[in-house]
Structure 1
Amino acid sequence: MSDPTTIDLRPRDPQPRDPQSQPRPLLRKVLGDVLRRTRRQQGRTLADVADAANVSMPYLSELERGRKEASSEVLASVCDALRIELSDVLAEVRRDLVDDRAQRAAVVRLDAVRSRRAAFGQGRSGAVLPSRPGGPGNVTCLLAA
């Protein structure tokens, strides 16, 4: 059984998946990580924050582990209990998602791009190459002198 905290939304293709590719994280998992990290940075216990947010300690634990989806009301209550703005939590979630995306980006060697262009009959014109099965934006090409 696959990990219930991640989901792969990329289009399915008949070719085998790249063994290094990873599924995208679920929002509830990343949000839970941010809430837990914030609580721990404040040196607070689950019981303390759960009591202040008026939610059960097991429920808050499930939120932090990414196993439950928080309603907007519960999320607002937990943010109030942690004395942080929802916008700050969401900004931290965004940073984590951007970091995750950067870690999942493929690195392509320049010589591989050149040979691929040659295979498709494209020279140095800078013509667009056919996209990979993951769609545009999945390849990072690093150039070195």
Structure 2
Amino acid sequence: MSIPLRPLPAIDDRPEPLLRELLGDVLRRKRSERGRTLRDVADEARVSLAYISEVERGQKEASSEILGAVCRALDVTMLELVSEAHHELAIGGAASVPATGGAALALAA
């Protein structure tokens, strides 16, 4: 006698987005919304323009000190930055939710 097997749930093979990419997307959007240039923000945050560009493109993992300086230059709180990144992950990162059900995700600042 054999036991009938249920099919396995579909597994999403897409990789989860990297936190540095999510944070970079939010920073770029905030800068654009405020009509600020990379040069302007770099000067105010005292960070090189090239480095901020790499952070916005998700190519560099910025330290909390750099993120704080850029947030201050953009008049954005760290909480707002992390909250928006969390929101983007929740709505756009379907790969982050297991196929078996709704797991909760929390990010701490």
TM-score, normalisation: structure 1? 0.58
Partner of 1:61: 53
Q: Is 1:22–2:14 an aligned residue pair?
A: yes
Q: Is 1:42–2:34 an aligned residue pair?
A: yes
Within 1, Cα distance between the matches of 2:85 and 2:57?
14
5+ long unaligned stretches in structure 1:
1-16, 107-136, 141-145
Q: CA RMSD in A?
A: 2.2
Partner of 2:63: 71
Q: How many residues align?
A: 93
Q: Which of these residues, 69, 80, 92, is aligned with residue 88 of structure 1?
A: 80
**Structure ranking higher in helix proportion:** 2
Which secondary structure does the structure 1 equivalent of 2:93 belong to?
A: helix
TM-score, normalisation: structure 2? 0.77
- Asked which structure has the greater CA Rg, the reply is 1
Quote the offset at 1:46 in angstroms.
Answer: 0.4
Dislocated runs of 4+, deviation >4 Å: none
Quote the offset at 1:64 in angstroms.
Answer: 0.1
CA offset digits 1:11-66 (Å, max 9, x no partner): xxxxxx96x63110000011000000000011110000011100000000000000
5+ long unaligned stretches in structure 2:
1-9, 102-109
Quote the offset at 1:138 in angstroms.
Answer: 1.7
**Structure ranking higher in strand proportion:** 1
Give yes or no for contact 1:105–1:138 (8 Å, CA) kept in 2: no
